[in-house]
Amino acid sequence: NAGVTQTPKFQVLKTGQSMTLQCAQDMNHEYMSWYRQDPGMGLRLIHYSVGAGITDQGEVPNGYNVSRSTTEDFPLRLLSAAPSQTSVYFCASKDRGSGYYEQYFGPGTRLTVT
Partner 1 sequence: EDQVTQSPEALRLQEGESSSLNCSYTVSGLRGLFWYRQDPGKGPEFLFTLYSAGEEKEKERLKATLTKKESFLHITAPKPEDSATYLCAVQAKGQNFVFGPGTRLSVLP
Per rule CB under 8 A, is residue 58 in the interface with partner 1? Answer: yes
Q: Which parts of 35-54 interact with partner 1 (CB under 8 A)?
A: 35, 40-45, 48, 50
Give per-residue burial for 66-76: e unless 16+ CB within 10 Å, then b: bbbeebbebbb
Among 34, 64, 74, 90, indicate the residue that binds partner 1 (CB under 8 A). Answer: 90
Query: Is residue 8 involved in binding partner 1 (CB under 8 A)?
Result: no
Q: How many residues bind partner 1 (CB under 8 A)?
A: 26
The CA distances from residue 32 to 10, 39, 81, 83, 99, in Å, are 21, 23, 23, 26, 16
75 scored as a contact of partner 1 (CB under 8 A): no
Size of the chain in residues: 114
64 strand-pairing partners = 78
- Given 33, 85, 87, 93, the residue binding partner 1 (CB under 8 A): 33
Distance CA 44, CA 80 (A): 20
Q: Residue 76 interacts with partner 1 (CB under 8 A)?
A: no
Which spans of this chain sit near partner 1 (rule: CB under 8 A)?
Answer: 4, 31, 33, 35, 40-45, 48, 50, 58, 90, 92, 94, 96, 100-108
